[in-house]
Amino acid sequence: MIGFKGLLAGIVVVAACSIAATPPAFAQDAASLCAGRGTVDVAAPIPTSLMEQAAKLFGGDDTDSFAATVYRCVNGEVWLCTYGANLVCDHANVAKVNPGATEWCKENPGARSVPMAATGHDTIYSYVCAGKTARISRTIAKVDERGFIAGNWKRLK
C-alpha cells in the first residue's frame, strides 16, 4: 500500500514531467517558438499571445477568428497558416492520380471541372473529365520546398 508521502511524490513527478513536456506552442513570444529548432514540418497551434499578430498578418481584426491558426518552424523562423473552408495547412497532395476525381468522372463523364469537394482541398491540381477519366487541367497551387501549399503560409516578422 502506498502511503501519503509516496502518493505525494508520485503526483510531484507526474506534474514535473507534464511541465517539462509542455510544447513550445505555449511560449509567450514568437522568437522563442522556433529558436534553435531549425525546420519542423509539423503544424502546431499558436499560443493566444500571438493571436493579435496573426490577425494583423492575415488582415483580420477579430483575434478570436484566428484560433484555427497554426505555426511551423522554417529555418528557425515562425510561419503561420489559418485553416479555413478552402485553406489547408497540412502537406499538399501532389499526386497526379486523385481517387476523388476518378470517382467523380465515373459518375459525371465529360464534366468540365471536378469540384474540390471531390478532389480534396489539399490537391495542387484542377481536374476535368475526359469521358470517364480524370485528367489534370492545370496546376492551381505552388508547393514550398517542404511540401506545403505556399500561398497558405506567411512568415511572422
Provide the b/e sequence for 41-69 (b: ≥16 CB within 10 Å).
eebeebbeebbebbbebeeeeebeebeeb
Mean pLDDT by 10 residues, the chain (157 residues): 43 37 50 86 87 83 74 92 88 97 98 97 97 98 95 92
pLDDT given at position 62: 67
pLDDT given at position 47: 84
One-letter amino acid for residue 46 of the chain: I
pLDDT given at position 67: 74
Is residue 68 within 8 A of residue 46, CB to CB? The reply is no
Q: What is the pTM of this model?
A: 0.72
